[in-house]
Amino acid sequence: MQPFDASGPFANPHLQTLYGSLFAPRPKVTYRRERWDTPDGDFVDVDFVDGAPGTPWVHLYHGLEGSSGSPYAHHLMDAARQRGWRGSVFNFRGCSGEPNRKPRAYHSGDTAEGDWSLRRLRALAGDVPFYAAGVSLGGNMLLKWLGEQGEAARAVVTRGAAISAPVDLTAAGWALQTGFSSVYGKHFLGTLRKSSLSKLERFPGLFDAERARKARTLREFDDAVTAPVHGFAGVDDYYTRASSKPWLPSIRVPTLLLNAKDDPFLPERYLPRADEVSPDVRIEFPRRGGHVGFVSGFPGRIDWLPRRLLHFFEHGE
């Protein structure tokens, strides 16, 4: 498949991101939902696209404040269904429309959550090709898990893919508080602050409410809320320990790393070089595409991304 390269009205990275994330029409997907109890007594909701037993399976981890209802999730699951494959989307804790039970939520390096969910899904899929994809935050988590597991990941995942993953969280954190990219940071900050303050009513003392209210950037919010709630010493500790970039040389599962060079969430200079990834990682950095945008044509289609992922999963190229 040819790499993505948009032109015309959607060549701008911000239009790519906004249209792909908010305005692009999405196909109707009928999910079957299962509620799973987590090992620590919480719950998550996993949405399935069922198909014939013995067919390949595509699993997706969504991005920050996303869900199985995100446009990219609908497009990927619809494309898998049309191919006769099965699929699933893992809704991170608190992202399925109902608050989770525990004080914790989810974060960019939550590979413990990834590990038990992937192994459970692999058991459900059976002895068939099992493909795992992650978008943005979910992509970073998946890449880190693949690196941590090394050869052992081959027993679980046949091929993997990460789309618009902020592999260097420190760089992404700074990017999201400068220039036009700060618009996206403020958008996430608004929704995260609302949900976290709501959680504070159920779990008093979980974090410093005043610091959370005063946070003006996503980095400040992560320092005030995300880091302490999930056991990190602060934002620098969180970003350092949760970033997937140091783990990329350890990946032993064929994996597609797809990031646009104009992604406003991660400047091009921080994308990994060929010598910073393992031979099993295929890096693909189109000139354009924004952040999980990849919009082509007019009035705008985002069908390239699911086609690219399924092509890689099936053919490894």
Question: Which of the residues 47, 223, 262, 263 is marked catalytic?
Answer: 263
Q: Tell me the C-alpha distance between 89 and 220, whole Å.
A: 30
pLDDT tens for 50-94 read 999 999 999 999 999 999 999 999 999 999 999 999 999 999 999
Question: Which of the residues 68, 88, 136, 243 is marked catalytic?
Answer: 136
| Per-residue pLDDT, 26 | 82
Whether 291 is catalytic is: yes
| pLDDT > 70? residue 182 | yes
Q: Say if residue 25 is exposed, middle or buried (CB neighbours under 10 Å; 0-12, 13-18, 19+).
A: exposed
Q: Tell me the C-alpha distance between 81 and 92, whole Å.
A: 22
Span 264-272, average pLDDT: 95
According to DSSP, residue 3 is labeled P
- Listed range (17-26, 57-66, 184-193) with the worst mean pLDDT: 17-26
Whether 21 is catalytic is: no
| Per-residue pLDDT, 25 | 75
Q: Where in the chain is the domain with CATH 3.40.50.1820?
A: 8-167+244-315
Question: Which of the residues 62, 75, 230, 291 is marked catalytic?
Answer: 291
For residue 111, give the 3-state DSSP assignment: helix
pLDDT tens for 86-126 read 999 999 999 999 999 999 999 999 999 999 999 999 999 99
Span 217-232, average pLDDT: 97
Q: Tell me the C-alpha distance between 242 and 167, whole Å.
A: 9
| Per-residue pLDDT, 119 | 98
| Per-residue pLDDT, 317 | 95
Q: Tell me the C-alpha distance between 249 and 232, whole Å.
A: 24
Whether 78 is catalytic is: no
Domain 8-167+244-315 sits in CATH 3.90.79.10: no
Q: How confident is the model at residue 232 (pLDDT cuts 50, 70, 90)?
A: very high
Span 246-267, average pLDDT: 96
- Listed range (42-46, 136-140, 195-199, 296-300) with the worst mean pLDDT: 296-300
